[in-house]
Structure 1
Amino acid sequence: MSTILVTGGTGTLGRLVAERLRADGHEVRVLSRHSRPYAVDLREGGPALAEAVAGVDTVVHCASSPRGDEEAAGHLIAAARKAGVAHLVHISIVGVDRVPFGYYQTKHAVERLVVESGLGWTLLRATQFHDLLVDVFERLARAPVMLLPAAVGDQPVEVAEVAERLAELAVGAPAGRVPDLGGPEVRSLESLARAYLRAVGRRRPILNLPLPGRAYRAFREGGHLAPRRTVGKRTFEEYLTTRFGPALEN
């Protein structure tokens, strides 16, 4: 069986990838800033990173941060090349090449680093996780009125399904960019927000606001969606039921 390093292996996605690979009998190393014995801040690199990748067959790069992703990827790729890693699997976001949003542009830059790394590589893009939408709606629902960007849709996907696909890719040969993984439904943000409010039993008026800028226009045009790749199975309502119980009247 392979020795596989999962960066961000204690996070929402990486933890599930590591669990799946271990269940399939692989030796898995979990790298994160605070996880022993491979506690590494990828933005700093150094000897601890070299130790983490030594003897590894495949790296699954799930680590991500609001700042420093390009620097982190550069350190990881350099260490992987030096260690003779055969396969780098990277998870990205649908639309990073179409939506001029700062975080997306950074993710696209990381993709380019992976493609130009000289390593065997596989790149999977996924739509937004159910968990992320709930986190956003929880923050927005703190105000008396829930403000949403007008005419924007989303296509949330179950994180466990993305983890399963990444684990499958990790044990295969480098495949380049593979087909996107999108959630089962393209929905308006308003319909998703109302489903969330029903699930948690809260009442909030929703106001859809048009926003300025190129990034908003790209989101409104669906640049972050994969309507031809509705391959996810679990719907947002099914996720909400598991997390919060049956929907409450509100």
Structure 2
Amino acid sequence: MTTILVTGGTGTLGRLVTERLRADGHEVRVLSRHTQPYAVDLREGGTGLDAALEGVRTVVHCASSPRGGDERAARNLIAAARRAGVDHLAYISIVGVDRVPFGYYRSKLAVERQIEESGLGWSVLRATQFHDLLVTLFQALVKAPVLVIPAGVSDQPVEVAEVADRLAVLALGAPAGRVPDLGGPEVRTLESLARAYLRATGRRRAVARVPLFGKAYRAFRTGGHVTPDRAEGKVTFEEYLSRRFGQVGD
């Protein structure tokens, strides 16, 4: 069986990718900053990264941080993968990184470019936002008496397990380049998603739509981060909320 390295293998997505690959009988090494025996900070690289990649044929690159460092981490990973003779580097990106001038998106796009130019066999899958991310956002916003959301913005949340399934299949195949995007089943207004969250958690808040400014906001408003033509996810936001919090109220 193939030896596969999953970076960020303890994260929301990487953990599920690891489980699926192991369930198929593959040897999977989990690389993260704190998980032995492959505890490596990709931003620093070093001999630990070379050891983690020894004998590895495929890398699934899930490690990422909105706080920065993704481009440096990718450079270190690519250099080490070349030294190790890796055949296939599969990367998870975000729908809209080439259309929305948002800092984190620009960084993800830059990593895509590094991978494309790496000389390695590569595959890139872009997905829409995970259900979990929206809940994290709403959990922060609900702390105020009024839940304030950007006016006119929609989203297309997708179940992370479905993304993990697609990424695992991609990793086990031949390098495929940029593959079709994966979007959640519905494009919904952010207001409707926020109200669904409030119902599911039994909270009562007024929801205020506030217009923002800037190129990134305009791109979000015009749907640069959604892919209605690739709405292949099956799990709706309400289904996710019901599983996580119990029965969604009326």
Q: TM-score, normalization: structure 2? A: 0.99
Report the equivalent of 1:135.
136
Report the equivalent of 1:39.
39
Report the equivalent of 1:61.
61
SS of the residue corresponding to residue 88 of structure 1 reads strand
Distance 1:198 1:27 in 2: 42
Counterpart AA for 2:195: R
Runs of 4+ residues deviating >3 angstroms: none
Q: What's the RMSD between the two structures over aligned residues?
A: 0.6
Counterpart AA for 2:40: V
Alignment of 1:1-250 (within 5 A): 1-65=1-65, 66-248=67-249
CA deviations 1:90-136 (Å, max 9, x no partner) are: 00000000000000001110110010010000000000000000000
Q: Give how far 1:247 is off.
A: 1.7
Distance 1:217 1:248 in 2: 33
CA deviations 1:129-157 (Å, max 9, x no partner) are: 00000000000010001110001000000
Q: Give how far 1:248 is off.
A: 3.5
Distance 1:248 1:187 in 2: 19
Counterpart AA for 2:177: G
SS of the residue corresponding to residue 12 of structure 2 reads coil
SS of the residue corresponding to residue 228 of structure 2 reads coil
Distance 2:248 2:122 in 1: 42
Distance 1:137 1:230 in 2: 23
Distance 2:176 2:31 in 1: 23
Q: Give how far 1:8 is off.
A: 0.1
Distance 1:126 1:64 in 2: 14
SS of the residue corresponding to residue 209 of structure 2 reads strand
SS of the residue corresponding to residue 204 of structure 2 reads coil
Distance 1:223 1:217 in 2: 9
CA deviations 1:184-236 (Å, max 9, x no partner) are: 00000000000000000000001101111000000000000001000000000
Q: Give how far 1:67 is off.
A: 1.2
Distance 1:112 1:37 in 2: 30
SS of the residue corresponding to residue 228 of structure 1 reads helix
Distance 1:27 1:190 in 2: 43
Distance 1:246 1:27 in 2: 38
Q: How many residues align?
A: 249
Distance 1:188 1:248 in 2: 19
| Structure 1 residues not aligned, in runs of 5+ | none
Q: TM-score, normalization: structure 1? A: 0.99
| Structure 2 residues not aligned, in runs of 5+ | none
Distance 2:35 2:168 in 1: 20
